[in-house]
Amino acid sequence: MESLWAIVAGVLFACGFYMLMRRNLIKIYFGLALIGNAGNLMIITSGGLTRAIAPVIPEGATSIAGTYADPLPQALILTAIVIGFGIQAFTLVLLWRSKAVTSKGDVDDLRTTDITEKDHH
């Protein structure tokens, strides 16, 4: 099971990096989103995929009976998803603004930072 998901994560990483190399800004954004998901999938896979109960001690008991899932990878990807959600939303708004002012959305249009005031005239 782990090896299957490891391959899936690998494919997602590969797709993400391919998208990052594209010229279109929206495609670059999708590349970032894909790599983020690939990373999360990798964390949950590397934490070990076991058929086990939730790591919550039932009411009245003092310990969990049987095997329980490692809660830490879940906490990690939850945090990573929350952060990714916020930052990707910001990136999307930024792309939007960029498209609104440059009207295209091609990486070649992002050159204004490299042009000095002299070249403008």
Q: Which residues bind another protein (CB under 8 A)?
A: 20, 25, 28, 32, 35-36, 38-39, 42-43, 46-47, 56, 59, 72-73, 76, 78-80, 82-83, 86-87, 89-98, 100-102, 110-114, 116-118
Shortest Cβ 66–another protein spacing (Å): 18
What is the C-alpha separation between 50 and 73, in angstroms, rounded? Answer: 13
> Which CA distances in Å does 70 have to 26, 44, 56, 103?
36, 10, 11, 48
Cβ-based nearer residue to another protein, 51 or 108: 108
Structure tokens, 28:
């670059």
Cβ-based nearer residue to another protein, 8 or 20: 20
